Amino acid sequence: MRAAIREEIGDSVFCLLIDEARDESKREQMAVVLRFVDKHDYVQERGQWYDGANNMRGEWNGLQALFLKDCPSAHYVHCLAHRLQLALVSSAKEVNPVYQFFSKLTMTVNVVTASSKRHDQLRAAQAIHISNMFATNEISTSCGLNQIGTLQRAGNIRWGSYLNSARSLICLFHSTCVVLEKCSEEGNYSTRGEATSAYDAITTFEFVFLLHLMKDMLGISHD
């Protein structure tokens, strides 16, 4: 494949696009896409996937450094949109209540998604909640609406993950509270303690206010 790509590119200028994210098994996956104009003046793209892309910018062993060894004129630009999001999240966390908010959000997601049993409880609670809201005409239904999902973890290498985490908790807030209340009454002392702490944290006015504030703020930069 590499030989075929080199043949297509020839001596033409090319652009290398690289992205990475963790899959469901939490392993980092890297996509490498070459974009170039071929010998017939057509724009082409060729891509490959790799495992273990844990260092893109490393000064000595990162992919940037490896390219610069063979091609000193290569210009590295980290995704500007991703950098904007990271800068926005980092700046927001400088405000102590916002930092505490994200810590509580992460704690809540970890508690609720820690086991398959709790995940199933969350989905069951959400299904009941949606049915009740539909029965009282609080929501409408059609293809694609009111899907039963799960809470999303926030991570620095995933674009939009902080926004998705906030959105998912807003959507599943009632069901999350139901699961946390159940967990606070069941299991060992550790499970009960963590669930109680998470429930107390997310049911305060300050947390809910910041949840909607961060959802709106991150939504602007996401667009």
Torsion of the alpha carbons at 117, 120, 124 and 125, rounded to the nearest 10: 60
Task: Answer for the pair 53, 22: CB distance below 8 angstroms, yes or no.
Answer: no
CB atoms within 10 A of CB 36: 18
CB-count exposure of residue 56 (10 Å: 0-12, 13-18, 19+): middle
CB atoms within 10 A of CB 191: 17
pLDDT by residue (tens digit) across 109-164?
Answer: 999 988 888 888 998 998 898 888 888 877 666 555 556 778 888 876 666 788 99
Structural domains for the chain: 2-78 (3.10.450), 82-222 (no CATH)
Q: What percent of the chain has pLDDT over 70?
A: 79
Residue 197: what residue type? S
pLDDT at 35: 83
pLDDT by residue (tens digit) across 64-114?
Answer: 677 777 777 666 666 677 777 778 888 988 999 999 999 999 999 999 988
If you write DSSP's letter for every residue of 61-127 in order, what string do you get? SSHHHHHHHH-TT------HHHHHHHHHHHHHHTSHHHHHHHHHHHHHHHHHTSSHHHHHHHHHHHH
Chain position carrying tokens 């009282």: 136
Task: Using pLDDT thresholds of 50, 70 and 90, give the confidence band for residue 195.
Answer: very high
pLDDT by residue (tens digit) across 29-59?
Answer: 777 788 888 878 888 887 766 654 445 555 5
